[in-house]
Amino acid sequence: MENSELDSRGNESVVKRVSISKLSRSSNDMDDATRPVWLEATESFYKKLNRIAKECQLSRYEALSKGLDALFREMQVRRSALNRNIKSPSQSEVFRRTMGQVSRNYWATLSPEEKRERAKKSAQARWGRHSDQLLRTTTIRS
């Protein structure tokens, strides 16, 4: 529906009213990335945001940012190879916790020297450095 309104200069302009139900589309609909998201936020959204930010002792921006990060991590876990092969979420969580405990138990059996050596090998593999390059940079920094 369209209404006539006066803008700040007193000029008449046509304003198109859109109901909240049309704005709050499901995630399956196309999302216009150029449209600011706060235009679709409702009063209940801001109440929830304020409550969560206050409870977590964060600014509203930090609460939103951390929430988005958590959502992304959750999606990564859901799409992981483990979850693709183990259909039950409870089974995959039990498996994940079990493997974490196995890893902690294994690392607890290693001496500090063995841990250092494993960490060094992992860093070399990760960064593609040879031991002599790693030693050179360590000596320069010292």
3-state secondary structure 41-83: CCHHHHHHHHHHHHHCCCCHHHHHHHHHHHHHHHHHHHCCHHH
Distance between CA atoms of residues 21 and 23, nearest Å: 5
Residue 61 in domain: no
Q: Is the residue at 74 inside a domain?
A: no
Reported pTM: 0.44
pLDDT in single tens digits along all 142 residues of the chain: 444 455 555 555 444 444 444 444 555 556 788 888 888 889 999 999 999 999 999 999 999 999 999 999 989 888 887 777 777 777 878 888 888 899 999 889 989 999 999 888 888 888 875 555 556 655 555 5
Structural domain range at position 36:
1-56
The distance in angstroms from the start CA to the end CA of the chain is: 72
Domain count, the chain: 1
Whether 105 is in a domain gets the answer: no
Does a structural domain hold residue 1?
yes
3-29 b/e with 16+ CB inside 10 Å = b?
eeeeeeeeeeeeeeeeeeeeeeeeeee
